[in-house]
Amino acid sequence: MKNAADLQGAHRAAFSVALLAPRYWFTWFGLACGRASLWLPWRGRLRLSRLLGALYYRLNPKRRRIADINLRLCFPAWSAEKRDAVFREHCTLAAQGLFFTAMMWWANEATLDRWITIEGLEHYAAAAEGGRPVLVLHGHFVGLESGVLVSRRFPYVGFMKALKNPVLDWAMTRGRERFGGRVFDRSGGLRPLIRALQAGFGASFVADEDLGPRDCVYAPFFGVPAATLPTAGRLAGVTGASVIPCFAQLLPDGRCAMWFEPPLADLPTGDPVRDARLMNEAFERAVRRMPAQYMWTMKRFKTQSGERSPYE
């Protein structure tokens, strides 16, 4: 396997004594609880998820409003009762996602194999064996940390936004790199990611986020114009990478089903808007399969061309 440690530009979050300062003790307590949760039976984790989800629902009217706006835009035929039920379920699943993240960062490999199934790896393997780099397209779902699993099997890198809390930044970086992968700070631009792809590494890319009008195009997401960065198409054009959607679904019994879809055959199309549309269609397929697991609390439609944000 290629050595990701040789890559230039990887995000570094080293441990230091300064991270033990009193102002970070609550963060350390939270991380300790997360790691200790691995010892809980799965029914205990699900009960806690329901409790934490209920608290999240009640204590976050702002996020509840954002989710309702998003669901109303994407599913106009749904009743207010159905939108509310989906968001209530989402809150529970978001809490379950915290326990899932703890598993990704700290559980041993035997535990991961027991609780997580992966389908469609042949799509990734076929592209890699054919000499093409692979760009894995992830979305903002509660099982997003599942990208860690790819680095168990293939030389792999990813993007992340450096966290303001240095303890969380260190823990997240360490968790995502535990199997030999590397993460790049998003503020460093695309060049490190391009170099990694050209060197034969697979790369994770999360594309369903409204980062403002700069360099974006407007492509429909459930029929609603959404500011979308057509970066995946650009990266595929520069590096010759196959773009493969990958998603993970948290299941009622505490397990997780992860799947890779076939490569987006037409990407890049040479048209940034069409590239963005193909990506959004992949996210739509996953949302329809598991609507409560999408992060509806994001302001996905905040940037509108010549119109007010629906969240105002």
Closest CA to 4 of 166, 173, 117, 122: 173
Contact 105, 178 (CB under 8 A): yes
Sequence-separated (6 or more) residues with CB below 8 Å from residue 58: none
Whole-structure pTM value: 0.91
Q: What digits encode the pLDDT tens for the residues 176-220?
A: 999 988 888 887 788 888 888 888 888 998 888 888 888 789 999
d(CA 157, CA 179): 11
d(CA 202, CA 207): 16
d(CA 152, CA 27): 28
Sequence-separated (6 or more) residues with CB below 8 Å from residue 290: 141, 247, 249
Minimum mean pLDDT range among 33-37, 214-218, 279-283: 214-218
**What values do phi and psi take at 132, rounded to 5?**
-100, 135
Q: What digits encode the pLDDT tens for the residues 257-278?
A: 999 999 998 888 989 999 999 9
Minimum mean pLDDT range among 17-31, 96-110, 196-210, 257-271: 196-210
More confident residue, 132 or 296: 296
Contact 116, 186 (CB under 8 A): no
More confident residue, 248 or 130: 248
Closest CA to 278 of 224, 220, 227, 195: 220
- pLDDT band at residue 9 using 50, 70 and 90 as cut-offs: low
d(CA 250, CA 97): 8
d(CA 66, CA 91): 13
Closest CA to 173 of 188, 158, 154: 158
